[in-house]
Structure formats: C-alpha cells, structure tokens
Structure 1
C-alpha cells in the first residue's frame, strides 16, 4: 500500500490521501506516516497564491530599497534598480522603471533616460504600460524635442507595448504646439496607419484646437465637414471654439462670418448662451446695430435669457448706429427682465443721452444711480461734462463742473482738453489757463493743439508776455 501511495505522489496522480489514512485501523500508524509524507518529505509545490504573494512582497521591499537609494544618492539609478531587485531575488516591475524615469526627469538627469529605455527593451519581458511612453512623449514635447517624441511613439512595439490612439493623440498634441511640429503631423499620420491606429473624435478635436490657435477657422470647418461625412460624432466644444475664433478675426467681414455660422448650423451646431454672447460681441465690434438686435431676439427664441453684458453690448451698438429709440427699448426690457444694470450699462445709456443733448436727463440719471446704489465713476462724470461743454451751454457746464468737483471726481485729460477748447472758443481765456495749470499740476500733458489754441487767443488779446511762463512750462 505504501509503495502504491509513493508511486502516486511521484506521478502526481490525484488520490484521496485522507481516505487512505481514514481506512487504516491503527491511529499510531496513521500519525506516523501522515507526518512523514505531509511534513518532512512532501514533493508537491507551494500553492500558486503563496508564490504570487511572496513575489509581490519581495517586489515591494525592492521598491523601498530603490526609493531609499534614489533619495540618498540619485546617481546611476539604473544600476540601483537592477541591484535592488536582484537583492530580493525578483524581477523589476513596470512601476520601478516608471519611478526611475520620473526621478531622472525631476533631478535633471534626462540624458540617462535612453540607457534606461535600452535596458527595458533588451532585458525585460513584461508588457510596458502605455502610460510610461505617454509621459516620455509629453516630456520631450515640453522641451520641443519633436524627433525624440516621434521616436518613442514608433518604438513602442520594441517595449512590448501596443500603441493606441491615446499615445497618438499625445504625440499629435505635442507636435501641434508649434508650427514646425504641425508640418510633421501628416507624415506621422501616414506611418501610424501601418500600426493599425484609427483616428477618433478626440484626435480631430486636437487638430481643431490647433487650427483655431493658429487662426485658421476655415480649415477647422473643413475638418468638421470631413467628420460629418465619415459619421464621426462632433463635440459641441469644437463648434464653439471655431465660432469664437471666427468672431475674433479682424480680417473677416460680417457677412462672411454669419455665412460660416449658418454652415456650422447645418452640421448640427446649436448655439448656447456663451456662443450667442460671442456673436453679439462680434456684431457690436463691426458696428452692426440692427444685426446685433436681431441676434439678441434669436437668442431669446432659442430659450436663453440674455444677461446684463449682452443687453449692454446691444444697447451700445444701436446707440452707435443712432437708433436711440431701440436703445430705450433695450434698456426698458432689461429692467422688465429683472436685471440690475451695472456701471457699464449706465455709462452706455449716459452716452446715448449725451448724443441726444438730453443733459437734464443725464444729470437725473446720475442721481438715480446713486439712489440705486450704483455709484457713478469717472467715466460717468467725464462723459456728461464733456458733452455739455461741447454743446456750448457753458452756464450749465460751469454749474455741473462745480458739482463734479464737489463729488471728488477726477477729470480725465480728454475732458480737460474739451473744456479748455470750449472756454477759449467762448473767450474765457483766463478760466482756460486756470484749468491748464490745474491739468499740469496733476501731471497731465496737454495736446499741442490745445496750447496752440490758447496761444492764438492770447495773441489776439495781446497778453502773451504775461502768461508766457505758464505756456513755457507746458
């Protein structure tokens, strides 16, 4: 019987050892041979889970030794890696190589990375995680080492790593940071096809961001057409970025931008609140008051409530176009919508009142602003004061100037120029000189035309020598 059992053990035939010992009649006999075969001379291997646990523990100890070596003397880390894992009789892990590479970068020893990669390629057997190579591509990209980044990507199979669209997108992002890198992208894409890597929506989003960064929104729209034709899903953020880039172009006419916007809509673009704000800002910049008012109406039809900024921009556009009635309607609508005008809104509306010579309404508006808790600023006072002087109503202008001074408002250089010009034209040269002296005391430099006007008026009055010192200082 014992010979039969030994033969089964040697040949690894699964038998019920427990059944054999239970069938024995002698307990001493069972105890004796149970200990003999199961403790002293067993020949079957340790369970797999014990081997894996032991290996993992050894790798942890080796990693701790490597970290200690790197913190104490971060020199020749590759040798430290090999020695640390050899000491605990285990193989290096991907994390250990990742740690070494990051430490070399952190300690400005990036010139040793190539030797680490060579060792990883030749002497290791594990599949290198793609994240390690992505970090290396990003590192070389920051240093504008495009050829090294490309080499890492195409060398991926040598590290037993199957590159995916993630590493390709990383390389594309790196190359698109500079124009010289952008020129290499087509070659990279051609070679990547041989690696069976298919571009995804995320890849096109990178290209669109790069084209918008280099102010080529029309080329970006061409990419959108390509995505649409090949049934790619288009991210709304790409649409918004292209629209923003279009609105920031100074060399595009209004009709061209609006035509391209309609083209984007045909591809599935739906404007949100921010997009409508960019369109309105563009139309205001192009001084298209009617079009900006229409854009505001379409924004509301799309279900978006305009904010104070949108209303202010549209009101500024229609005032610039001389449509003061529409400006009043926009201002009233904003109040009906429950929006509180800010200081910029009040200043735009103030300018509209000044253009209509409604100075009394402008002064009342200043009082209303104070009552509503929106304190007028320097622009508010200067705009109204300049407009009153330019109108030639010097009596009202003098009264309002005293009020402005009483409020402690600071006059701008442009305001001084306009007041002095009107005072000289009206023959109040002495008052103009007083303002000129005040202007110079505040370190404001008058325009040559202002000085010429004063000198001309003084020459006509024959009082140049008396005021020569002040004009010389100016």
Structure 2
C-alpha cells in the first residue's frame, strides 16, 4: 500500500511537472501563436514591418466585423508589425461605419503617439458618418488646428452634406475657411454650393456663384431653376 501510494504520488508529481512545463511553454510561445492566425487570414506576404491592411485577402478578413478587425490590428502590433497610415485609416473607417466614434478618435491619438500622422482621409470617415453639424464643424476645426490641411474633397463633402440637410450657415463657414486657407474652389465645390443655394430658393445668390465660376473658366451644370443651359461650342468632340 505504501509502495502503491508512493508510486501514485510519483505519478501525480510527474503529471504536475509536465503540466507546468506545458504551461511555461505556452506562455513563452504566446506571442508567436498569433502569427499563424494572421498568416492564415492575411497571408505572409502582407506581413511587413510597415503593414497595410489592404488587398482582397485582408478585405475579406475585415468583412468579418469590426471586433474581429480590431483583434487582428492588436495582434499585428503585439507581434511588432508597425501599422501604416492605410492600416489605421482602415480601422478608423470600420469604427466610424459602426458609429463607434469614441474609439475612432482614440485611434487618431494612437496614430500620433506612434509617429503616424493622420491625413484628411482619416477625418473623411468621421464626416461621412456623423449626423450633427456642430460636431462635424468642431472636428473640422480641430483637424485644421492639428496641422492637417483639408483637401478639396473635404470641402466638397462638407458643403454637399450640409447642403442636403438644408444648413447654409455651416456651408458658408466651410467655404470661408477654404478661402482663408488659400484654396481655390474647383467646379465640384462651386456646383455643391450652387445646389445648396438653389435648394433653399436663394436663386440670385446662386446665379452670382454660377457666373463667378464661369468667369474662372469652370464648367457649370445647367439648372432649370437658374435658366442656364450647357454652353456648346462650334468645335467637334475631336477638336
């Protein structure tokens, strides 16, 4: 009995030791365990020191949901892969599309702390999904204050959005900021502004901007409200 008891204790000790060794090994390899997961979904080719979440394999991976994508993003960082601007913007877009603005704003701060400067596109994802003009304008001014210059696409996006909502004050605030920063409106910007004015019935002001863009050599859209037509020259399409 004593012998059997001794053998039983010996077996238990051996099992405990083996269990302990397996646990230690698991902890030592815990970082490396994420690699097969990422490689399986993304492919080793995508794993570079400056990693982009792009390409069909990754898009399929990201389609599984924002939480899955955040997990993938964190595992990349844990493995020492430095996210690129494209990667950060991809995650920000996913968060904004799911109305998780607080996390998306935190991602902007994380970018800066890690030495990756956001660009105008980083903010476009917020502007596309946010629903309160005041919040959009606040973020717009914060973007400019952080040293990020809006692109013409930024101005057009905001003018169109505020115009659709029927808010002319923010439309002109964005327009004034564009001129203040020395950007010259293109045809898309003028047409977005004119559409907003026509929608509100401000036809005289709309005509003013329509004539202004024509003097700059920009193409205005024909609008029956303004009784404008598409100008046709005598030249053939071939010149």
Q: TM-score range by the shorter chain?
A: 0.5 to 0.7
Query: Aligned with 1:273: secondary structure?
Result: coil
Superposed displacement of residue 333, structure 1? 2.9
Superposed displacement of residue 312, structure 1? 1.7
Superposed displacement of residue 369, structure 1? 4.0
Rounded Cα–Cα distance in structure 2 between residues aligned with 1:275 and 1:331: 18
Query: Do the aligned residues in 2 keep the contact of 1:353 with 1:361 (CA within 8 Å)?
Result: no
Higher-Rg member (1/2): 1
Query: Do the aligned residues in 2 keep the contact of 1:287 with 1:321 (CA within 8 Å)?
Result: no
Rounded Cα–Cα distance in structure 2 between residues aligned with 1:412 and 1:276: 35
Query: Do the aligned residues in 2 keep the contact of 1:420 with 1:436 (CA within 8 Å)?
Result: yes
Q: TM-score, normalised by structure 2?
A: 0.62
Q: How many residues align?
A: 194
Rounded Cα–Cα distance in structure 2 between residues aligned with 1:392 and 1:287: 35
1:231-380 mapped onto 2 (5 Å cutoff): 262=40, 272-273=47-48, 276-279=51-54, 283-284=58-59, 288=63, 290=66, 291-320=68-97, 322-335=99-112, 337-344=113-120, 347-380=121-154
Query: Do the aligned residues in 2 keep the contact of 1:416 with 1:435 (CA within 8 Å)?
Result: yes
Query: Aligned with 1:473: secondary structure?
Result: coil
Query: Aligned with 1:408: secondary structure?
Result: coil
Rounded Cα–Cα distance in structure 2 between residues aligned with 1:281 and 1:360: 37
Q: Which has the higher helix share?
A: 1
Rounded Cα–Cα distance in structure 1 between residues aligned with 2:50 and 2:128: 32
Rounded Cα–Cα distance in structure 1 between residues aligned with 2:42 and 2:230: 62
Rounded Cα–Cα distance in structure 1 between residues aligned with 2:216 and 2:141: 28
Structure 1 residues 441 and 287, CA gap change in structure 2 (3 angstroms): farther
Superposed displacement of residue 394, structure 1? 1.1
Rounded Cα–Cα distance in structure 2 between residues aligned with 1:384 and 1:273: 36
Query: Aligned with 2:83: secondary structure?
Result: coil
* 1:258-297 deviations in Å (ceiling 9; x for gaps): x9x52897xxx59633585255785459973625433212
Structure 1 residues 303 and 328, CA gap change in structure 2 (3 angstroms): same
1:29-428 mapped onto 2 (5 Å cutoff): 262=40, 272-273=47-48, 276-279=51-54, 283-284=58-59, 288=63, 290=66, 291-320=68-97, 322-335=99-112, 337-344=113-120, 347-428=121-202
Q: Which runs of 5 or more structure 1 residues have no equivalent in the other structure? A: 1-258, 459-463, 465-469
Structure 1 residues 306 and 280, CA gap change in structure 2 (3 angstroms): farther
Query: Do the aligned residues in 2 keep the contact of 1:354 with 1:362 (CA within 8 Å)?
Result: no
